[in-house]
Amino acid sequence: MPEEYTDYDAFAARLRQLIREHSPKIIGIEGVMQAGKTHLAGRLAQDLGAVLVEIDKCSYKNRDPERFQSLPDELPYSKLIDLDALNRELSAALASAALVIVEGICLRDMLRATNRTVDITVYVKSLSANTGMWHTEYDIEDYEGGSEVYEGFYKDEIDYHSRMRPHELAELVFVRVEESHRGE
């Protein structure tokens, strides 16, 4: 079972301890869309003096918008990422820094496509401020039970969570409580 933290300072202290013990080259930050991966990864990169690689910045949408517009709708997330660009970004980061933080959805699949793996994995879990619930757990159960059909990016995320169980296999989980939207 991963260790869960809600306090950034306690989380960062534990991560620093793991870094001292294991001398990782790549720390992976994963979770569902809008969970807070990019924010956490940026803060950690700054605090740890690491280089940050954001998988979404290697998407065709960001790198080649014209090509992105020509792609068929409902392509899996992995087909929307320029893997050559991701590979170049990772190679440059690994050549220039002792520690690289890579963040994105379907992280292990994306790294496997570049023949890389993470040394330490952090999962970002976003809980509802109103209910305190993690909705993704129910989505995974519905997906696995066949009671719910998902499409697009979200289907890829749920399928990835069902296959890879990143929320269970990470060394650390950082729990972020979403801001409440009541009364807006």
* Structural domain 3-177, CATH architecture: 3-Layer(aba) Sandwich (3.40)
Residue 22 burial (CB count, 10 A): 11
- What are the residues whose beta carbons fall under 8 Å from the beta carbon of 142, sequence distance 6 or more? 148
Q: DSSP class of residue 146?
A: T
Q: Are 152 and 55 in contact (CB under 8 A)?
A: no
pLDDT reported for residue 153: 67
Comparing C-alpha atoms, which of 67, 72, 99 is closest to residue 85? 67
Counting every residue written for the chain, the total comes to 184
pLDDT reported for residue 68: 66
Q: Are 148 and 141 in contact (CB under 8 A)?
A: no
Q: Are 103 and 51 in contact (CB under 8 A)?
A: no
pLDDT reported for residue 20: 97
pTM (predicted TM-score)? 0.90
pLDDT reported for residue 183: 46
Comparing C-alpha atoms, which of 178, 169, 176 is closest to residue 125? 176
Kindly give the residue spans of alpha helices, DSSP state H, lying in 23-151: 37-48, 60-63, 65-70, 83-96, 107-112, 135-145
Q: Are 53 and 100 in contact (CB under 8 A)?
A: yes
**Using CA atoms, how far apart are residues 124 and 129, in angstroms rounded to an integer?**
15
pLDDT reported for residue 180: 58
pLDDT reported for residue 184: 42
Low-confidence ranges of the chain (pLDDT < 70): 68, 72, 153, 180-184
